[in-house]
Amino acid sequence: MTKLSVNINKIATLRNARGGNVPDLLKVAVDIQRFGGQGITIHPRPDERHIRYQDARDLKAIITTEYNIEGNPQHNFIDLVLECKPDQVTLVPDAIGAITSSAGWDTIKNQEYLTEVIQEFQKNGIRTSIFVDPILEMIEGAKKTGTDRIELYTESFAHQYSLGNERGIDPYVEAAKLANELGLGINAGHDLSLDNIKFFKENIPGLLEVSIGHALISEALYLGLDNTVNMYLNKLK
């Protein structure tokens, strides 16, 4: 079964909009795990507009499943990850001030830098994953960095699927096949939802984990958080 890691950035966004501690980010993380979620993902950004660095520290004590911290490996982020020692770190090439992730790494151009960062995390017992587009050269480049996994950036698939174009998954299938051949674990995320997750999962060989936040939290407004988490789990079986 493909694991479901729930990104709780949007819970932090809602909390920060009013100040105080409602909703309680830590309680939501505990509840998601109690409902069956198999991991918690956060993506702290330098301006801390949703997840704060202190959240990352506080979550460490209450996550009993898998803890995944995503972000651009700048100095402050690297220091935070090494302090928190999550199960997995996902490296994302976010520009400062970006609303959301918009592209994968150029693993060829950034190979030396990524290799250095990945070695530091692995030396500290942290599994590494690199955010990549479904481009075969980028998958090959990822392998050369020594990363444990890749995370396929699925915005293009989700957009094409919403237009009724199921062939939009073809580049992801080819990328996954190559990753499997190279011995890279496969994660995926961005714009995956209840509408498209089953189709994606059924067509991607060796899919280990999906990280879903915006869609899941939005769907939970109508369906309830417990129900929504379990709807995803059923589709991922």
Q: Render pLDDT for 200-225 as a digit per residue (tens, 0 to 9).
A: 999 999 999 999 999 999 999 999 99
pLDDT score, position 97:
53
φ, ψ of residue 159 to 5 degrees: the values are -65, -45
Give yes or no for residue 98 having a pLDDT over 90. Answer: no
Task: State the first-to-last Cα distance of the chain, in angstroms, to the nearest integer.
Answer: 5
* pLDDT, position 86: 98
Is 214 part of the annotated catalytic residue set? no
Tell me, yes or no, if 159 is annotated catalytic: no
Q: Which residue has the tokens 């073809």?
A: 170
Q: Residue 102: pLDDT band by 50, 70, 90 thresholds?
A: low
- Over residues 37-58, the mean pLDDT reads 96
Across 22-26, 46-50, 148-152, 154-158, least confident range? 46-50
Where does the pLDDT of residue 100 fall: very low under 50, low under 70, confident under 90, or very high at 90 and above?
Answer: low
More confident position, 145 or 1: 145
Sign of CA dihedral 161, 166, 171, 174: positive
pLDDT at 1: 86
Q: What pLDDT does 103 receive?
A: 81
Mean pLDDT over each residue of the chain, to the nearest integer: 96
The mean pLDDT value for 8-31 works out to: 97
What is 3-236's CATH topology? TIM Barrel (3.20.20)
Low-confidence winner among 23-32, 72-81, 88-97 (lowest mean pLDDT) = 88-97
Confidence at residue 156, expressed as pLDDT on a 0 to 100 scale = 96
Q: Specify the pLDDT at position 95.
A: 62
Catalytic-role residue among 70, 151, 209, 219 = 70
Task: Tell me the mean pLDDT in the region 129-143.
Answer: 97
Q: Is the pLDDT of residue 87 over 80?
A: yes
What does the pLDDT read at residue 94?
77
Q: Is 75 annotated as catalytic?
A: no
Domain ranges of the chain: 3-236
Does the pTM exceed 0.85?
Answer: yes
Which of these is catalytic: 66, 151, 190, 209? 190
Candidates 43, 50, 66, 209; catalytic one = 43
Position 80, amino acid: L
Which residue intervals of the chain are DSSP H helices? 9-18, 25-34, 53-60, 75-84, 111-123, 136-145, 155-162, 170-182, 197-203, 214-223, 225-236
Burial class from Cβ neighbours inside 10 Å (0-12, 13-18, 19+) for residue 203 reads middle
- Rg (the chain; Cα; Å): 17
- Per-residue pLDDT, 6: 98
